[in-house]
């Protein structure tokens, strides 16, 4: 697949050939769904907790006699049927995280990259950095490619100055080529990718031997 490479000013510079094994695969919607739900499940804290009738503070005494009052038979005041009593089948702290097979996760990432490339939501930009680390310098570059859209910028490596410049920009997130997140990629309206990052992705995900691990 051929894609145009743009300068930071938004001008077309050249074309590059993208690896079809990474950017031009049939999109597997099922595995994308599994990857997104897996990430959301792993993000859950799972600290919600309610008290059962055995844990609620209160008297164990029977409030009134069993017979003779003409009302329902009542146990202690900690009954789940009373206000302030215990909770029936309430949530308890638990771990929602689970592991996803490596082959499935790699396929999900390649399907997402292919989806963005095939729907023209992937834009390749020449390598750049923000040496000043200022937000306004990055905003000038982004204005040539996006218009207040949910955007993901795929980096060739960990660039702290570029991340610093973009941490105050809403709807903009940064991903390293070897640490992609399915949730961010799927919901991004625009994916801006540095030119070197495309080559790194081809090496990282285009290795067929790694898919058989």
Note the pLDDT tens digit of each residue in 130-154: 999 999 999 999 999 998 899 999 9
Using 50, 70 and 90 to split pLDDT, how confident is the model at 213?
very low
Task: Please name every residue paired with 151 in a beta bridge, in sequence order, or none if there are none.
Answer: 172, 190
Q: Which of 95, 118, 136 is the last residue of a domain?
A: 95
Residue 49 belongs to a domain: yes
Q: Which of 95, 130, 153 is the last residue of a domain?
A: 95
Residues 148 and 168 in one domain: yes
Residues 88 and 116 in one domain: no
pLDDT for the residue 210: 52
C-alpha span between 106 and 35 (Å, rounded): 9
- How confident is the model over 21-25, as a mean pLDDT? 92
Residues 138 and 161 in one domain: yes
Residues 127 and 112 in one domain: yes
Query: What six digits make up the tokens of 14?
Result: 């050249």
Lowest-pLDDT range of 30-39, 144-153, 157-166, 202-211: 202-211
Residues 131 and 91 in one domain: no
Using 50, 70 and 90 to split pLDDT, how confident is the model at 208?
low
Q: Over 60: is that where the pLDDT of 177 sits?
A: yes
Based on the structure, what is the number of domains in the chain? 2
- How confident is the model over 163-179, as a mean pLDDT? 92
Task: Please name every residue paired with 190 in a beta bridge, in sequence order, or none if there are none.
Answer: 151
- How confident is the model over 164-178, as a mean pLDDT? 92
Q: What percent of the chain has pLDDT over 70?
A: 97
**Residue 122, Cβ density class (10 Å: 0-12 exposed, 13-18 middle, ≥19 buried):** buried
Residues 24 and 49 in one domain: no
Q: Over 80: is that where the pLDDT of 70 sits?
A: yes
């Amino acid at each position: 697949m051929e894609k145009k490479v743009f300068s930071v000013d938004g001008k077309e510079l050249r074309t590059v050939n993208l690896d079809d094994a990474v950017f031009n695969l049939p999109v597997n919607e099922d595995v994308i769904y599994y990857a997104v739900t897996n990430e959301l499940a792993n993000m859950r804290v799972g600290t919600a907790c309610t008290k059962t009738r055995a844990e609620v503070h209160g008297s164990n005494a029977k409030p009134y006699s069993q017979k003779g009052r003409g009302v329902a038979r009542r146990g202690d005041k900690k009954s789940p049927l009373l206000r302030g009593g215990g909770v029936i089948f309430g949530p308890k702290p638990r771990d929602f995280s689970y592991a996803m097979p490596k082959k499935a996760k790699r396929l999900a990432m390649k399907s997402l990259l292919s989806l963005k490339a095939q729907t023209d939501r992937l834009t390749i930009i020449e390598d750049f950095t923000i040496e000043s680390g200022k937000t306004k310098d990055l905003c000038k570059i982004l204005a040539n490619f996006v218009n207040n859209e949910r955007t993901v910028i795929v980096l060739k490596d960990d660039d702290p100055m570029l991340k610093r410049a973009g941490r105050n920009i809403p709807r903009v997130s940064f991903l390293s080529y070897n640490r992609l997140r399915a949730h961010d990629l799927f919901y991004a309206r625009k994916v801006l990718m540095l030119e070197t990052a495309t080559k790194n992705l081809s090496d990282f995900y285009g290795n067929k031997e790694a898919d058989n691990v």
